[in-house]
Structure 1
Amino acid sequence: MKSIHARWSAFRAARRARSRPVISVGDPALKVVVTAFDETEAASAALGRSERWQPELPAVLRHHLALPDHSIEAARVLLAADGWELRPGGRGGELAAPGLTALIALRVQQLDALHCSQESSRMAGLAQRHGGQSFGWDALQPDPS
């Protein structure tokens, strides 16, 4: 049986979710609002320089990776456990070392500097462990106009 605290937390989370616009990773109307492809730039700086990012709205966070074919399925399973989708494409197509496949890991989430930094480190570690590369991230949201 759930505790009062757990039930109250679930109620508040459901209430917050209902008040936000629903977006999906495949929505073609979404536009890039933040880019962070320089590994020396802090996530807070990338978010801070964006004129189109709407902090109160959820976004599709996309990490650009390249992995060897033999490790893609293992990475997909690992990422799926935390709600990430792994799709072909992204910056790796033009930047990846030979023998690597360009991929994008993406999911809907609220953007903030802490979580963007944590996920960026996670993706870089995942790419390194699987013999791949990480090229940074970008985020998409509905066009504010």
Structure 2
Amino acid sequence: MKVKATPGLWRRLFRRDRDTALDPDRADLVVVASSFDDAEACSAALARATGLAPDAPAVLRHHLRIPPRHVQAVCAIAAQDGYSPAPQVSGPGTDEFEPLILRRVQLLDALHCSQERSRMAGLAQRHDGHADGWDALQPSPQP
């Protein structure tokens, strides 16, 4: 018996963003996991996470510093993978670097977090910038 797989089936089986109905602008989002240490594995950061619901979508944010002349290009490239810039909450950057937070909603596991962390580090480096770290937000638990 030969099974014919349709493109839709493969997309459903292998997509990373399953069940991602979470508004990244919600007011009740709190940081549940983070790592700003290049040497720390994502699995270790997720293991020490407090309040993380592993089966629920999270807003994964990457904190970058990019030269101002490259910010638009970095945002355009990241948008191809579903990332959007978060509203800037910190002060303005320096003449050399502008802080940039790129975010997207996804289910969070160590493998995909590590892949995205590596992807963002490479993107920042290709544009003369730095990837400082990442954090993940989920709605705060209701009492």
TM-score by length of 2: 0.83
1:9-28 map, 5 Å: 20=19, 22-28=21-27
2:42 equivalent in structure 1: 43
Q: Which residue of 2 aligns with 1:74?
A: 73
The answer as to whether partners of 2:22 and 2:57 remain within 8 angstroms in 1 is: yes
Structure 1 pair 59–101 and aligned structure 2 pair: CA distance change class (3 A): same
Counterparts of 2:105 and 2:20 in 1: how far apart (Å)?
A: 11
Report Cα offsets for 1:57-87 as digits up to 9, x if no partner. 0000000001011111111110111100023
Gaps spanning 5+ residues in structure 1: where? none
TM-score computed with the length of structure 1 as normaliser? 0.82
Alpha carbons 1:31, 1:142 under 8 Å: kept: yes
SS in 2 for 1:47: helix
Matched, 1:111 2:112: no
Question: Take 2:81 and 2:107, find their aligned partners in 1: how far apart are those partners?
Answer: 14
Which one has a larger percent helix, Structure 1 or Structure 2? Answer: 1
Distance 1:11 1:132, change over 3 A: closer
Instruction: Check the 8 A contact 2:20/2:107 in 1, yes or no.
Output: no
- Check conservation: 1:90, 1:104, Cα contact below 8 A: no
Q: CA RMSD in A?
A: 2.6
1:127 corresponds, among 101, 124, 130, to: 124
Instruction: Determine the C-alpha separation between the residues in 1 that align with 2:60 and 2:67.
Output: 22
Partner amino acid, structure 1, of 2:70: S
SS at match of 2:86: strand
8 Å contact from structure 2 (residues 28, 140) kept in 1: yes
Deviation at 1:24, TM superposition (A): 1.4
Distance 1:103 1:5, change over 3 A: same
